[in-house]
């Protein structure tokens, strides 16, 4: 089994890929199926990775809404046709920067 630090580094890698795919802004993202697919794939991988973190780490960091991440993963996986791309943009532009800061802080604390 991989360490929490390994998974946290992987989360930051996925966040970096999301940031790269959305760096041209909202309008470009909404017009580009390629960028949307890249973001959705990396968000899926990100949310899957959070499921592999230890229960101890998650309970030590309740400031991260782990259950909401799991719920978002279920939408990405099971309701693909019902995904609201505007909602995805909101997650990317509002929630992902905060998550990046939180994950970076946890990594700093444990390494």
Catalytic residue numbers, as ranges: 73, 78
In whole angstroms, give the CA distance from residue 46 to residue 72.
10
Which distant-in-sequence residues (6+ apart) come within 8 Å of 102 by Cβ?
61, 63, 64
């Amino acid at each position: 089994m991989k360490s929490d630090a390994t998974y946290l580094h992987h989360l930051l890698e996925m966040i970096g890929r999301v940031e790269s795919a959305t760096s041209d802004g909202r309008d470009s993202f909404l017009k580009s199926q390629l960028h949307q697919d890249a973001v959705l794939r990396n968000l899926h991988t990100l949310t899957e990775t959070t499921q592999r973190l230890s229960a101890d780490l998650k309970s030590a960091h309740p400031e991260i809404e782990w259950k909401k991440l799991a719920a978002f993963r279920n939408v990405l996986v099971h309701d693909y046709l019902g995904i609201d791309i505007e909602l995805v943009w909101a997650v990317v532009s509002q929630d992902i920067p905060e998550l990046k800061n939180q994950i970076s802080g946890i990594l700093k604390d444990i390494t």
